Homo-oligomer: A and B are copies of this chain.
């Protein structure tokens, strides 16, 4: 049984200019791995209509789920919702349920509902809303694309609300071992081990600490017992 696949699309000039360091990719990667959803690709594009539309179309066709972050706020550079709608050829307009959610939030917070804030109630036709427990403005789901906010606290809250609704797979078991030898010394036995366990994935991550070489080996797979067996073999090889 192969697991469902996923891609992430980060939208925002501020990441590409180096002004902001993205935190959402790493967060989502960890959550999807726990859920047994196989994250295959991530992309970052700017606030550029063609770039957003062509990435969304390509990723939506290639993977089970697509998750986006960024570009759903009230300002002129928040163009994600319009371009998701355009990517799928559907209309977009202010939707009453989204407007009501925003209005209730602004009434509670003493903020004024103006034209800019009303833009955040623009939802593509046929989309389902994603709850935003922090600043109310909803995300949405259109086909297999989950459109969420870029602000990390809001992104994380939205991920928490959509994750239980996804069809997950068998979570990967992951075990690691630190070997106090250079990666070049570990490579040959590791290649043999990888050939012996074709269903598992073996990663090798070199480090240098206090002038000494070392390598962290990570073994991953859906069969927990097989991962443990490979880890025992590796430990024996490393002695």
The answer to whether A203 touches B16 (Cβ under 8 A) is: no
Question: CB within 8 Å of B: which of A13-32?
Answer: 13-22, 25-32
A187-B26 in contact (CB<8A): no
Question: Are the C-beta atoms of B202 and A76 separated by less than 8 Å?
Answer: yes
Tally of contact residues, A, Cβ under 8 A? 66
Within A45-93, which residues are at the interface with B (CB < 8 Å)? 45-46, 48, 51, 73-77
Contacts of A29 in B (CB 8 A): 15-18
Residue A4 CB within 8 A of the other chain: no
Interface 1/0 per residue, A215-239 and B, CB below 8 Å:
0001010000000000000000000
A164-208: CB near B (< 8 Å → 1, else 0) gives 000000001010000000111111101100100000011111101
A76 touches B19 (CB 8 A): no
Residues of chain B with a CB closer than 8 A to A208's CB = 135
Q: Establish whether residues B183 and A74, one from each chain, have CB atoms under 8 Å apart when the complex forms.
A: yes
Using A19-B174, A205-B20 as known contacts, say yes or no to A218 and B14 having CB atoms under 8 A apart: yes
Please, how many angstroms separate the alpha-carbon atoms of A16 and B115 in the complex? Answer: 39
User: Given the complex of chains A and B, what is the CA–CA distance between A218 and B18 in angstroms?
Assistant: 12
Q: Does chain B have a CB within 8 A of A142?
A: no
Within the assembled complex, what's the spacing in Å between the Cα atoms of A110 and B169?
Answer: 46
Query: Is A101 in contact with chain B by the CB < 8 A criterion?
Result: no
Residues in B whose Cβ lies below 8 Å from that of A202: 76-77
Given the known interface contacts A26-B18, A44-B42, the answer about A182 and B111 at a Cβ–Cβ threshold of 8 Å is yes
- Cβ of A151 under 8 Å from chain B: yes
- Report Cα–Cα, A187/B191, bound state, in Å: 56
Contact A201 B40 (CB under 8 A): no
Query: Other than the known A18-B33, A120-B184, what 16 A-B pairs have Cβ atoms closer than 8 Å?
Result: A14-B203, A18-B27, A18-B31, A21-B26, A22-B26, A41-B44, A73-B183, A74-B187, A76-B191, A77-B201, A111-B185, A111-B213, A114-B184, A114-B187, A116-B183, A151-B206
